[in-house]
Amino acid sequence: MLISLIVPCYNEQEALPIFYREVRKVLAGMDISSEILFVDDGSRDETLRILKEIAAGDEAVTYISFSRNFGKEAAMYAGFCNAKGDYVAVMDADMQDPPSLLPEMLSMLQSGEYDSVATRRVTRKGEPKIRSWFARRFYQIINRISDADIVDGARDFRLMKKSMVDAIVKMGEYNRFSKGIFGWIGFQTYWLPYENVSRVAGETKWNFWKLLKYAIDGVINFSQVPLSVASWFGMFMTFVSFLAIALIVVRKLLFGDPVDGWASTICVITLIGGIQLFCMGIMGQYIAKTYMEVKQRPHYIVSESNRRELEKVK
Ligand code: UDP
Ligand code: MG
């Protein structure tokens, strides 16, 4: 039996040595052989050099270095495509996904009842309040409008059986939103709660706007509801306009009351114009995603690796 750990790294020079030391310690105490797959996502610091050093001293370590920064989703996909293990886990390099949970997760999978053990933060300690608030709203909304089951506080850190990894690799979409993909493919998942851990070193790659974009991508990738909102909105506005027209005609006929008011006309025109643009924007978002899917560009391009048989472009 083999366990594969997939570790996406982007500018993690400070955290990597700490992570590697801890993970090796934990793996040594586990009764299973292991491989660690580091995916260097186009780092601009010393990450790649450190990875090469680690790989030179450890046969079980593979590094895959991208030609540029393709994003964590692409890095995880590269890991899934190249992992050989019967059990596969994704872990951040910053120690926010505690390696010490691995033995417990593995024994849970080996007991046979579950296909994957996923982790969920029960607290958001150490995170700005406003970010937590937006995160909660996001999970509420997406669970209402999407058919993928997305758990609040879920991390990407999870240990899976090979069958589940095969399913993920089959989901070859270009616009990847892993939290949705994990939920969509199904399988029996056990949710392991744990307290939030802060990053050991380095900085988070996320700011508010990136997170907002990530949230919108999540909605668009896993729900068609915004599209129907646009058409319902359109129908509602049409209905209101009919009422308004009837009202004005009746008023004119009964009271001879001419409708005056340049201001009100302009307001209505801009309102309708705004709504139309908004709805077109929603459609545009879906079309843009479709455009990227249709191009079938590779998810990532590998510039360097210590494993020769690896697919360089995928
Ligand atoms: N990461 C990556 N590519 C990116 C951004 C991040 O591979 O473009 C990796 C990063 O090195 C880390 C993990 O994804 O191992 C999570 O990133 P981060 O800690 O910045 O996110 P957070 O934990 O704050 O959500
Ligand atoms: Mg982190």
**Which is the CATH superfamily of the domain at 2-222+301-305?**
Spore Coat Polysaccharide Biosynthesis Protein SpsA; Chain A (3.90.550.10)
The response to whether residue 205 sits with its C-beta less than 6 Å from ligand 1 reads yes
How many angstroms separate the alpha carbon of residue 149 from the centre of ligand 2? 23
**Residue whose token pair is 């607290």:** 123
Question: In the chain, where are the structural domains located?
Answer: 2-222+301-305, 225-295
Q: Is the Cβ atom of 94 under 6 angstroms away from ligand 1?
A: yes
Predicted TM-score of the model (pTM)? 0.85
Tens-level pLDDT at each residue, the chain (314 residues)? 999 999 999 999 999 999 999 999 999 999 899 999 999 999 999 999 999 999 999 899 999 999 999 999 999 999 999 999 999 999 999 988 999 999 999 999 998 889 999 998 887 777 788 888 888 888 888 888 887 778 888 889 999 999 999 999 999 999 999 888 998 898 999 998 888 887 888 788 888 888 888 888 888 888 888 888 888 888 888 888 888 888 888 888 888 776 677 777 887 888 888 888 888 989 999 999 999 999 999 999 999 998 877 767 77
Residue 86: count other Cβ atoms within 10 Å of its Cβ.
Answer: 16
Going from the Cα of 105 to the center of ligand 1, the distance in angstroms, rounded, reads: 22
Cα dist from 242 to 236, 248, 257, whole Å:
10, 10, 19
The CA 199 to ligand 1 mean position distance, Å, reads 10
198 CB within 6 A, ligand 1: no
Q: Residue 205 CA: which ligand is closest?
A: 1
Q: What is the 3-state secondary structure (H, E, C) of 203-234?
A: CCCCCHHHHHHHHHHHHHHHCCHHHHHHHHHH
Looking at ligand 1, which atom is closest to the CA of residue 199? 19
**Are 2 and 33 contacting, i.e. CB atoms less than 8 angstroms apart?**
yes
Instruction: Give me the residues paired with residue 194 across strands.
Output: 121
Cα distances (angstroms) measured from residue 9 to each of 46, 143, 186, 254? 11, 29, 27, 74
Ligand 1, residue 8: give the atom nearest the CA: 7
> d(Cα 221, Cα 231) in Å, to the nearest integer?
19
Those residues with Cβ within 8 angstroms of residue 193's Cβ, 6 or more apart along the chain or in another chain: 119, 120, 121, 122
Q: Measured at the alpha carbon of residue 184, what is the angle toward residues 77 and 281, in degrees to the nearest 5? A: 85
CB of 92 closer than 6 angstroms to any ligand 1 atom:
yes
